[in-house]
Structure 1
Amino acid sequence: MRRLSDTAVITTNAILALISLATLCYSVYLFLKGPSQCQRFIQDPLIVTASLLFFISSLGLVAALYDSYVIITIYLFLLFLSFILILVLSIFVFLVTNPSAGKAFSGKGDLQNWIRDHFLQGKNWEGIICMADSKTCRFGPRDVHFDDKHLSSVKFGCCRPPVECGFESKNATWWIVPATSTAEITGDCKTWSNTQSQLCYACESCKIGVFKGIRKRWRILLVFNLLVTLLVVLLYSCGCCVRHNNRVPWKRRFF
């Protein structure tokens, strides 16, 4: 049982250390390269997350390899804090991505509007519209119909004029007002521009598309968090076994 616990802790933490080190190297590469606005948006969270993960996994490796009772205790404490943090984050993500649950929890609907209020307003929205310097609005062969069945919510809302405008597409990057149109061009229809750096990034339809995209990705994040929670529980259980095995020698040494 002792060998099994040690092997599980060493193997899992070695894999996590390698993953976090690779992520940290990628973050440093972005920093040295001179990141675009989009890359800056993820650079700091990547560095912080990778650094913490590398530190915790390194502690686990050292504790298991050198039978250190003190280090394994610190490692288990950090794992416990990680478990609490991930659990709280998972509950929060569930509430903000499920309108009925968020409204029931907050009573006023504050949580169900959190993503919209936090990401789609002011400086945060300015950070998200870094799509203008990315490949978000490059259309492929499958996007030829330009409808919501073939485009992602972001592309449909930000990279083409709203359907109600009735614009005609000459190609993937150029739309015109039909000669037979008598409707007044207002709202998002007036905001639309064929200029690739503008398109419909300032449109309300773009914000709606980004909102749907964020909510979808956060729901995927929720599933990922649950898997990480199971991994942390497994590591904590194995770590407790390692700590128990190291407890007797530690007592003999100091008492």
Structure 2
Amino acid sequence: MALSNKVIGAINFVAMLLSIPIIGAGIWLTTEPDNSCVKILQWPVIILGILILVVALAGFVGGFWRIQWLLVVYLIAMLILIILLACLVVFIYMVTLRGSGHLEPNRTYLEYHLDDYSGWLRRRVRSSYKWDRIRNCLSSTSMCAELNQRYRMAQDFFNAHISPLQSGCCKPPTECGYTFVNPTYWISPINTAADMDCLQWSNEQTQLCYSCDSCKAGLLANLKKEWRRADIILLITLVALICVYVIGCCAFRNAKTEDLFNRYKHGYS
């Protein structure tokens, strides 16, 4: 029985370690400017990782100190958390399934359209109340100012690989036909009727295209890229957790069987 308990404790110690990449993925998301402004995914991920850590710690304690009821609580709670993690992995995949950038003539960077993205993501940025808060947060970053320092000539900027957020928020849509002065200052649009965003553009450095649908689309494109990376980490951790849980269940069952055998043996000896 002692050996089985130590095995269960060791298995739960591995489960504790597996909570680290989940918590790390959530913390990484908080360090990204777009996610720190939107604040949708990072806290559910961090909280789920912490819960897995706490439950695995309970299983570790229950395994080494032979606390049977704590092991039962661990098995039930960990199963629930694994199901929640699986739901989160599937949810992230589904909401980031749609949406991609569009090529424009003589441009290396891509343009982004809000309607390309899932309805759930669009609802996160459509309301003026939510977007005002996000816009103020984005405009306080240096992402657009960095473009002015990096690109002086028009052709250099047109050939640049800028982020979706910079493409959507820091410049007007290409189809409007604005003339480049610098990455955040454009004049003389050719076709202001091409898109409503053409009228939203402002050379005021605190405004730019932060009120444009292209900025919202660029934000969602950035979120999609980062959420997909986090989802890969969560998926790998989920598979590892399932393996650890199955092994733990088998070890717990073997320990119970061994305990019953020992009781039977001592009862008839």
Counterpart residue identity of residue 167, structure 1: Y
SS of structure 2 residue aligned to 1:139? helix
| Shift of residue 184, structure 1, vs aligned partner | 5.0
The C-alpha deviation readout for 1:135-185, integer Å capped at 9, x for no partner, is: 433426996333485111111011112212333343344x1314xx66558
Structure 2 equivalent of residue 233 of structure 1: 242
Distance 1:124 1:232, change over 3 A: farther
The C-alpha deviation readout for 1:176-200, integer Å capped at 9, x for no partner, is: 314xx66558732332223333221
Report whether the alignment pairs 1:74 with 2:76: no
2:130 to 124, 131, 139: 124
Deviates more, 1:80-89 or 1:200-209: 80-89
| Shift of residue 227, structure 1, vs aligned partner | 1.0
Task: Verify the 8 A CA contact 1:69 1:250 in the aligned structure 2.
Answer: no
Report whether the alignment pairs 1:170 with 2:181: yes
SS of structure 2 residue aligned to 1:137? helix
Give runs of aligned pairs for residues 96-111 of structure 1, distance below 5 A. 96-99=95-98
| Shift of residue 231, structure 1, vs aligned partner | 1.9
Counterpart residue identity of residue 133, structure 1: S
Distance 1:138 1:59, change over 3 A: farther
Structure 2 equivalent of residue 156 of structure 1: 167
Distance 1:20 1:164 in 2: 41
Distance 1:242 1:71, change over 3 A: farther
SS of structure 1 residue aligned to 2:181? strand
Deviates more, 1:126-135 or 1:199-208: 126-135
Count of residues in Structure 1 that have an aligned counterpart in Structure 2: 230
When normalised by structure 2's length, the TM-score is: 0.67
Distance 1:182 1:200, change over 3 A: closer
Deviates more, 1:138-147 or 1:119-128: 138-147
Counterpart residue identity of residue 157, structure 1: G
Distance 2:48 2:140 in 1: 25
Distance 1:234 1:132 in 2: 45
Report whether the alignment pairs 1:137 with 2:137: no
Structure 1 equivalent of residue 39 of structure 2: 41
Give runs of aligned pairs for residues 155-234 of structure 1, distance below 5 A. 155-173=166-184, 175-178=185-188, 183-184=191-192, 187-234=196-243
Distance 2:18 2:233 in 1: 15
Structure 1 equivalent of residue 94 of structure 2: 95
Task: Verify the 8 A CA contact 2:22 2:234 in the aligned structure 1.
Answer: no
Unaligned regions of 5+ residues in structure 2, if any?
100-116
Distance 2:66 2:131 in 1: 49
When normalised by structure 1's length, the TM-score is: 0.70
The C-alpha deviation readout for 1:23-72, integer Å capped at 9, x for no partner, is: 99x8xxx9xxxxxx946836754663354233223213212332322112
Distance 1:217 1:21 in 2: 15
Unaligned regions of 5+ residues in structure 1, if any?
31-36, 101-110
Task: Verify the 8 A CA contact 1:64 1:72 in the aligned structure 2.
Answer: yes
Structure 2 equivalent of residue 54 of structure 1: 53
SS of structure 2 residue aligned to 1:170? strand
